[in-house]
Amino acid sequence: MRKIVIVFLFLLFPFIGEAQNSLEKINYLVLTQKYTEALHLTNEFIRDNPENPTGYYQQAIINKLMYKYPDAIKAIRNALDKEPENIDYITEYATLLMKREREKEAVELFEQAYSQDSAHIYAGLNLGNYYLKIKEYERAQKILYTLYVNDTTNSYLARSLGLCSIKLLDKENSLKWLKRALYLDSTDVKAYEYLALVYRSVKEFDKALACLNKATKVAPHNKYLYIKIGDIHVLRNHNYRAIPAYLEALAIDPTDDFVVKSLGLSYYKIKKYDQSMHYLKKALSMGMKDLQSYIHLGKIYTHKNKLDTANIYFSEALELLKPDNNLIFSVKENMGNNLYSKGEYAKAIEQFDHIIKLELKDGYWGTYRKNKVIIDIASIYHEKLGDKMKAIEYYEKVTKPELMVNKDYYSYAQKQIKKLKEELFFEGAL
């Protein structure tokens, strides 16, 4: 019997070796981003090894890299059918579900994988990031710390624990973890940014600036680092120091209207009005509708004694301060509909009554929207409150638009008025 087993294994080795070679070729093709060739070879491997879950797992990964998520999900399910307890397969399935915006199912699978192996980095990281996203910071911290204990040289975990501590308003641990992250990886730009944020929050501005300056050495083309440097200088009222930082950011991205505006405001603070005017006007010409820009341009022209021009900019500022009646109309209409659904008819009418008095910008569309709401009020009085006289009063407010759009509310209102007056006549109420 022993001889038979030895002979069987001897015969099996060539097939095992061949399968291993195929998988190595597939991995190489994936690494070199030759996904079509890799997928073709994987399909051949599955054909020759239909019971081997590794082939389906590889098929899932390649389809994911090719953004073929339905095919990837089908493949990983096949792998799980063969080996349902494999944590790598479970986490890959969860990842694919995340890609398809099936977050609840994905989190359940990550939880399953993490409960099987609390040191599984991929499952733990995804869970930690999920709990960070939904603001369950202590839960995220616990998971990330468990991972860190198993891998104390992982700078990403240290930085993530620093972020958890920031969210929990724990300054000491924020500093500890972020410094640890930077000790492990001195090129971690995000860790520098988080550390600067902590120092800024406790008004240790020099330390915050030192962190951001180190980050610019690592990522000299990251405009946001220079913006943050400029913002700290503005916070300290050191506008003359903010300007070079904002200019660096603008050199990296000349289309950033926020940076252009920030330059204009900084120049204004140091009383360089011509430079300020240049940048503020430029920000507005880039499409920015900004209250501060209009007000400061008005002040500059006032300083230059060009009062008519100043008032033009002040008027633009006032326009921005005006409430948007069309938006108010939509919000209050929704509120009224909700109150109606709750059976709070008097409160619904109160909301509707307010919005039909608003001046809307839409011309005949504004008339159409108002007519619809007036019909709603009349219907509430008629059908819910039994007040036909009040219903007629509102139906009579429905105006005939210059152009008929969608529904003819005016004709409908006229028919309702006639109908209700007939009913009131026969009831002896008229």
8 — pLDDT class (breaks 50, 70, 90)? very low
The model's pLDDT over 364-374, given as tens digits with 9 standing for 90+, comes to 677 888 889 99
Tokens, residue 175? 């500093």
Please report the pLDDT score of residue 2 as a whole number. 45
Give yes or no: residues 291 and 338 share one domain. no
Give yes or no: residues 2 and 36 share one domain. yes
How many other CB atoms are found less than 10 A from the CB of residue 100? 13
Whether the per-residue pLDDT at 354 is higher than 60: the answer is: yes
Tokens, residue 190? 């995000």
Question: Is 428 or 170 the better-scoring residue by pLDDT?
Answer: 170
Whether the per-residue pLDDT at 9 is higher than 70: the answer is: no
Last residue of a domain, one of 219, 251, 267: 219
Q: CA dihedral in degrees (138, 139, 142, 148; nearest 10)?
A: -100
**What percentage of the chain reaches a pLDDT higher than 70?**
92
**What percentage of the chain reaches a pLDDT higher than 90?**
67
Q: 10-19, 93-102, 134-143, 251-260 — which is least confidently predicted?
A: 10-19
The model's pLDDT over 21-75, given as tens digits with 9 standing for 90+, comes to 777 888 888 888 888 998 888 898 889 888 999 989 999 999 999 999 999 999 9
Mean pLDDT over residues 166-193, rounded? 96
Give yes or no: residues 155 and 236 share one domain. no
Last residue of a domain, one of 269, 290, 322: 322
403 — pLDDT class (breaks 50, 70, 90)? very low
Give yes or no: residues 156 and 226 share one domain. no
Domain count, the chain: 4
Please state the separation of Cα 246 from the chain's center in Å. 26
Mean pLDDT over residues 360-387, rounded? 86
- Is 186 within 8 Å of 164 (Cβ atoms)? no
Using DSSP, state whether 45 is helix, strand or coil: helix
Per the structure, the complete domain to which residue 339 belongs is given by 325-426
pTM of the model: 0.70
321 — pLDDT class (breaks 50, 70, 90)? confident
Please report the pLDDT score of residue 332 as a whole number. 87
Give yes or no: residues 309 and 357 share one domain. no
Tokens, residue 225? 């680092």
Please report the pLDDT score of residue 364 as a whole number. 60
Give yes or no: residues 71 and 83 share one domain. yes
Mean pLDDT over residues 116-128, rounded? 92
Give yes or no: residues 231 and 171 share one domain. no
231 — pLDDT class (breaks 50, 70, 90)? very high
Last residue of a domain, one of 55, 89, 109: 109
